[in-house]
Amino acid sequence: MISDPTKRFSDRVYNYVKYRPGYPDEAITFLQNECDLSGQSVIADIGSGTGIFTKLLLDKGYKVYAVEPNVDMQEAARQYLGYNQDFIPTAGSAEATTLPSSSVDLIVCAQAFHWFNNQKTRAEFERILKDDGYAALIWNNRLADADDFATAYENILEQDSVDYNKVNHRNISDIDFKAFFKDGKYKTVKFPNVQVFNEDGLLGRAFSSSYVPAEGTDDGEKFRQLLKDIFAKYNQFGKVSFHYQTEVYLGKV
């Protein structure tokens, strides 16, 4: 397994683009209201990946610096969003964004902050944010016990994945948000989110995760069969659902 987090998803880009969840409109509305965003606001999407959250911001008319260290994921974002003149792809990392000092009204990190070095990232965010700027740390937190299918899916991840138990979504609970945000003050909001899949969608969603054995390998084929087995057992009218809680942590840095 690739240990460098900036390279973990290079062989997952197609599935990532096609099968990763979006984010509820309520999350964008919350950021607009709390951060008093205007048409002139500049946003940095750090760890922007293939541009899933970036597109939501662009659709609202904001100028967005999409900072991403993974070349393959950024190229997918360029193909997806390059038509928009407010999309500014930027080769950089959370710890070294390359953005000018005091240039950003809002930083968003969607499904990415848990890969960062918190101390170095905090210093970099403080540098690039304007004095009244905010940072929003956002996750689609999959509910592992939402139903019998969710429980079965969680079990195969725990037992048959590569390093799921080390990097899984619940590790965000280990992040010391009070230490990260200025004076330990931040707001938390949570919104429901769901994806509905047929069998092909379930396979694509699973193989978009860096902790699942790679497709085309022996372990990957074994994992594929486990997925097909739980789909056959738990699908309802040819569908299964991933239930999420979209979590937003917002504060100054």
pTM here is 0.91
pLDDT tens digit string along 95-117? 999 999 999 999 999 999 988 99
pLDDT on residue 6: 47
- Range of lowest pLDDT (6-15, 174-183, 204-213): 6-15
pLDDT on residue 174: 74
pLDDT on residue 9: 47
Question: What mean pLDDT is reported for the chain?
Answer: 93
Average pLDDT over residues 20-40: 97
pLDDT on residue 162: 85
Question: Across-strand partners of 196?
Answer: 241
Confidence of residue 13 (pLDDT cuts 50, 70, 90): confident
First to last CA, the chain: 33
Higher pLDDT, 66 or 161: 66
Q: Is the pLDDT of residue 3 over 60?
A: no
- At 216, give phi and psi (nearest 5°): 85, 0
In CATH terms, is domain 13-143+168-194+243-251 a member of 3.60.140.10? no
The CA-atom distances, in angstroms, between 210 and each of 13, 16, 29, 53, 202 are: 10, 10, 30, 19, 15
Secondary structure string (H, E, C) spanning the chain = CCCCCCCCCCCCHHHHHHHCCCCCHHHHHHHHHHCCCCCCCEEEEECCCCCHHHHHHHHCCCEEEEECCCHHHHHHHHHHHCCCCCEEEECCCCCCCCCCCCCEEEEEEECCHHHCCHHHHHHHHHHHEEEEEEEEEEEEEECCCCCHHHHHHHHHHHHHCCCHHHHCHHHHHHCCHHHHCHHHCCEEEEEEEEEEECHHHHHHHHHCCCCCCCCCCHHHHHHHHHHHHHHHHHCECCEEEEEEEEEEEEECC
